[in-house]
Amino acid sequence: MSELTHLDDDGRARMVDVGGKPVTRRIAIAAGRLDTTAEVVGLVQSDGLKKADVLPTARIAGISAAKRTSELIPLAHIVPLDAVSIEFGFEEAAVTIRATASTTGRTGVEMEALTAVAVAGLTLHDMVKAVDPAAQLGGIRLVEKRGGKRGVWRADALASPEHDALASDGASRRAIVLVASTRAAAGTAVDTTGPVIAGWLGSRGFDAAEPRVVADADIAEALRAAVDEQPAVVLTTGGTGVSPTDRTPEATHAVIDRELPGVAEAIRTAGRAATPTAALSRALAGVAGRTIVVNLPGSRGGVADGLAVLDELLPHLVDQVAGGDHAGRPIAGAGGDEPVGESERMEHGGAPHA
């Protein structure tokens, strides 16, 4: 049994010295719920309560609380938060709360995520108590944490041991394709890369749904939501260049636990063989929990180059991340079904291959 780290040899409370720990990317996800009535849920959804802006107010309260966790929890460290996000969901007679906190530091942010859920929930209660004073806040718990010496910890793995066993056997073959293109999201341009990637994944045994097309400004939220679904693979396309609106690498860095620089560099190298502008790509690849995240360029040519690289690496990588030891397989060929000309090596909106 592990010892309590917040007690000294004499059993007195102490603050743990984390000075010797490595600085790593750390993420914590917490959840809770406010059980109320169907009437209140409807009023919250329609913003029909006398205290208006219920969800925005609760979200701001939760984020503010996360930033002040060390003032509320006596032995908690002051943590430089990278980001805090709070999402709400609805059941017939309940509002669900989910908070994600992240930092790049020497200690985790579990308490920050839990505090965000607690205060967001208390704020919801304050907003609805005039209609339902019997509303109950509960179920506040840590759902997942990443980073540090334990790597990835998930509550559902403890509650359901077969969850990890299935993942280790390669049973999870879900894949998500994200397209970062402001023009395609607005309907002023046609997405030509997402369907190619989804088709490629499907032909290799992955369950890939319709590509999700989002504006460049929304890629961070979309990528975080995709990773939260815990698919085996998330492939993005677009937004990897040096345009002021290109934000895919930053969004990727915010969600991954470990980078795979060799994968990203291999994709760049393959692209440079066709066009020098591939060197401008800032694309990343990495692992978020047990999800592999890879940025591909936004051009058909760049996608073809990237898929050709992944054709050789992805099966082995999926098995490795799931805990297996894939022996590899022969290269099936390039990522596209037909030659791609230089005109098709352009980004959505006319930017270069990157």
- Assign residue 66 a region: left if phi > 0, alpha if psi is -120 to 50, beta otherwise? alpha
Is 257 one of the annotated active-site residues of the chain? Answer: no
Helix (H, G, I), strand (E, B) or coil at 86: strand
Question: What single letter denotes the amino acid at residue 77?
Answer: H
- The answer to whether 34 touches 97, Cβ cutoff 8 Å, is yes
Query: Which parts of the chain are beta strand (E)?
Result: 24-35, 81-91, 94-105, 136-146, 152-154, 174-180, 207-208, 212-214, 233-237, 258-259, 285-288, 291-296
Q: How far is residue 349's CA from residue 189's CA, in Å, rounded to a whole number? A: 8
Under 8 Å between Cβ of 271 and 128: no
- Alpha-carbon distance of 249 to 295, in angstroms, equals 7
Phi/psi at 12 (5° precision): -95, 150
d(Cα 249, Cα 284) in Å, to the nearest integer? 6
Catalytic-role residue among 126, 164, 218, 319? 126
CA distances from 167 to 161, 185, 322 (A): 11, 33, 6
Question: Among all residues, which ones are annotated catalytic?
Answer: 126
